[in-house]
Amino acid sequence: MTTPASPTIVVALTAIVGERACLSGADTDAFTTDYRRLYLGKAVAVVLPASTDELSRVMAWCYTHGVPVVPQGGNTSLMGGSVPDDSGTAVVVSLKRMNQVVEVDAVNDTLTVQAGVTLSAARSAAEAAGRLFPLRIGSEGSCQIGGNLSTNAGGTAVLRYGNMRDLVLGVEAVLPDGRVYSGLRALRKDNTGYDLKQLFVGSEGTLGIITAAVLKLMPLPRSSSVAFVAVASPAAAVALLGEAKRTAGQAVTAFELVSRPALDLVLAYLGGEKSPLAGSHDWMVLIELTAGTDADSLDQTMVQLLEAGLEAGLVLDAAVAASGTDALAFWRIREEISDAQTRTGGSIKCDVSVPLSRIAGFIEEATAAVLALEPRTRMVVYGHMGDGNVHFNPLRPADTSAADYMAACYTQVSHAVDALAHAAGGSISAEHGIGVAKRDDLTLYKSPVELELMWQVKKALDPKNLLNPAKVLPAPH
Ligand code: MLT
Ligand code: ZN
């Protein structure tokens, strides 16, 4: 089928969404490049629908005329999942105008939002009602709930609350042909056959475009304790996590690993900020305990845990936040590691997970493999150790350009790290998804049966392969 010429597409879509909500030419630029500026795409138009009905009509028109569509939330994907390729044939659908908080139901403990609501707006709406929406990621000011769902976002509180897949009760989504899947239910129990909403979660906009969701709310924590702790090794960190779970149980909310090069990088990037610890240590963890009661015993529990850790030789030094300001400063150090790398350039982002029992061995082997390729690489290793998820991000030596390091090392490093994670029973993408960046690598790590099933699902919902094409699924051979 020949697709219509660009002006015809723009005229048809303008008729649906209105002139100001159908952008073309240079006005599309802000939507066609990813946030790390690694994927430079082009679009025939960018549409910003104001309602599910408008989006449904946009999709029906594009489907009939064979026009590819790329959905976009806050465009914070690290994998190139939310921008079009450079062919200039696709329409980008931005959900940013669908940004209403529809309902906070404090009895049912649910929050209903449109897909374009930012994560921080969703968290604020919950907090205003005395509740917590627990997803927590550094980009919360720009990322949107639709994108969080479609990528099954994780972040720094998964250990306690789970990832986006665990936090959703209902979804509304527009299908590639314009039909609307209306699954906006607020039920904790609904065993009426296939759980279709979960098809749209984590499928990175390849099966449908999420337009609204019902999310779970939790009690707002009323006390917390945060510590920045130097540990003897990654193995010591794992042992300390076990001790933390025994001592504090469910209160263990975050357990984040930080390597020395990650700390050095972020402190240099932040300028004025200082390490919470006096000495220099190879490995550190940020521990957060929270509870839903006013009990002031969490600092005591933390101290008890750290003392046991010191005695066992797991902990080398520790700082417990003495105030909310201290706690925010500790968290800032952790959360800015990602941007510090983006600004520095030349970091190879591997986002792997392995069973906790194998994580220390994985870090050791992967570090040796990377240093054998380029011994001066800065080992920026950090992330959600409590979930068995490390951001294993080798960074260019300070005196090597990003382009030179990437050209010399990218493929070998990312393949070596992913292969070791896979061999340890792990995943090559714990929480960042697949997008374009990891798409072709899936053939190495998923069985033919898994890939075939993924394509069968894709074809059932998107038989013309028009929705976010060439994302997630490697071309069948
Ligand atoms: C993080 O944990 O900081 C995020 O997943 C972002 C990143 O790793 O770049
Ligand atoms: Zn992360």
From the CA of 338, the nearest ligand is 1
Give distance in angstroms: CA of 350 to centre of ligand 1.
10
Q: How confident is the model at residue 272 (pLDDT cuts 50, 70, 90)?
A: confident
Amino acid letter, residue 293: T
Q: Which of 258, 335, 337 to mutate to test the pocket of ligand 1 (most atoms within 8 A of CB)?
A: 337
Q: Go through the domains of the chain in sequence order and give each one's CATH number.
A: 6-94 (3.30.43.10), 101-219 (3.30.465.10), 223-337 (3.30.70.2190), 348-457 (3.30.70.2740)
Confidence (pLDDT) at 296: 63
**Percentage with pLDDT > 90 across the chain:** 97
The alpha carbon of 431 and the centre of ligand 2 are apart by a number of angstroms equal to 7
Which of 353, 432, 438 has most ligand 1 atoms within 8 Å of CB, for mutation? 432
Going by CA atoms, what residue is nearest to atom 7 of ligand 1?
338
Query: Is 92 in contact with 32 (CB distance < 8 Å)?
Result: yes
377 has a pLDDT exceeding 80? yes
User: Residues 323-359: pLDDT tens digits?
Assistant: 999 999 999 999 999 999 999 999 999 999 999 999 9
Question: Which is nearest to 93 in space by CA: 31, 142, 178?
Answer: 31
Give the mean model confidence (pLDDT) for residues 400-405. 97
Residues 283, 209: contact at Cβ < 8 Å?
A: no
Q: Give me the chain's average pLDDT, please.
A: 97
Q: Cα(228)–Cα(256) distance, rounded to whole angstroms?
A: 9
Cβ distance 135 to 119 under 8 Å? yes
CA of 338, closest atom in ligand 1: 9
Token pair in block for residue 109: 């403990």
Q: Using CA atoms, how far apart are residues 134 and 148, in angstroms rounded to an integer?
A: 12
What ranges in 84-227 are assigned the alpha helix state H?
Answer: 119-128, 145-150, 158-161, 197-200
Which H/E stretch holds residue 450?
helix 448-461
pLDDT tens track for 50-72 = 999 999 999 999 999 999 999 99
Is the shortest distance between the CB of 338 and ligand 1 below 6 Å? Answer: yes
Q: Specify the ligand 1 atom closest to the Cα of 393.
A: 8
CA count, 13 A, side-chain hemisphere, 218: 19
Q: Are 35 and 86 in contact (CB under 8 A)?
A: no
Residue 328 sits at φ, ψ, to 5 deg, of: -65, -40
User: 467 with 60: CB under 8 angstroms?
Assistant: no
Tokens read off for 174: 């527009």
Please write the tens of the pLDDT for every residue from 109-129.
999 999 999 999 999 999 999
SS3 369: helix
pLDDT grade for 293, boundaries at 50, 70 and 90: confident
In sequence order, what are the beta bridge partners of 174?
180, 209
Ligand 1 near 138 CB (within 6 A): yes
Q: How far is CA 314 from the centre of its chain?
A: 30
Contact 111, 94 (CB under 8 A): no
Closest atom of ligand 1 to 334 CA is: 3
| Best residue among 34, 78, 159, 395 to mutate for probing ligand 1, ranked by most atoms within 8 Å of CB | 78
**What stretch of H or E contains 112?**
strand 110-114
Query: How many A from CA of 453 to the centre of ligand 2?
Result: 28
**Å from CA of 432 to ligand 2 middle:** 7
Please write the tens of the pLDDT for every residue from 193-243.
999 999 999 999 999 999 999 999 999 999 999 999 999 999 999 999 999
Q: 145 near 122, Cβ under 8 Å?
A: yes
Three-state secondary-structure class, residue 366 = helix
Provide the 3-class DSSP secondary structure of residue 9. helix
Which structure tokens are listed for 85? 């390729």
Burial class (CB in 10 A: 0-12, 13-18, 19+), 374: middle
The residues, any chain, with a CB within 8 Å of residue 130's CB and separated by 6 or more, are 106, 220
User: Comparing C-alpha atoms, which of 398, 389, 397, 430 is closest to residue 413?
Assistant: 397
Cα 146 from Cα 169, distance rounded (Å)? 14
Distance 228 CA to ligand 1 centre (A): 18
Any atom of ligand 1 within 6 Å of the Cβ of 147:
no
Query: In this structure, which amino acid lies at residue 270?
Result: L
**Helix ranges, 83-167 (H):** 119-128, 145-150, 158-161
Tokens of residue 48, six digits: 């910003």
pLDDT one-digit tens code per residue, 91-108 = 999 999 999 999 999 999
Residue nearest atom 4 in ligand 1 by C-alpha distance: 338
Mean pLDDT for the stretch of residues 62-91: 97
- Is residue 383 in contact with ligand 1, taking CB distance under 6 Å? yes
| Closest residue by Cα to residue 211 from 117, 296, 285, 133 | 117
Token code pair at residue 72 = 């976009």
Which of 439, 436, 387 is closest to 163 using CA atoms?
A: 387
- Locate 428 and state its tokens: 């090559």
| Alpha carbon of 336 to ligand 1 centroid (Å) | 9
Of 138, 215, 36, which is closest to residue 384 (Cα–Cα)? 138
Q: Which atom of ligand 1 lies nearest, measured to the CA of 155?
A: 2
Please give the distance of CA 124 from its chain centroid, rounded to a whole number.
20
Q: In what order do the strands lie in the sheet with 101-105?
A: 101-105, 110-114, 209-216, 168-174, 180-183
How far separated are the first and last CA of the chain, in Å rounded? Answer: 23
Counting from 1 in the atom list of ligand 1, the atom nearest the Cα of 337 is 3
The secondary structure element, H or E, covering residue 407 is: helix 402-423
Distance CA 171, CA 379 (A): 40
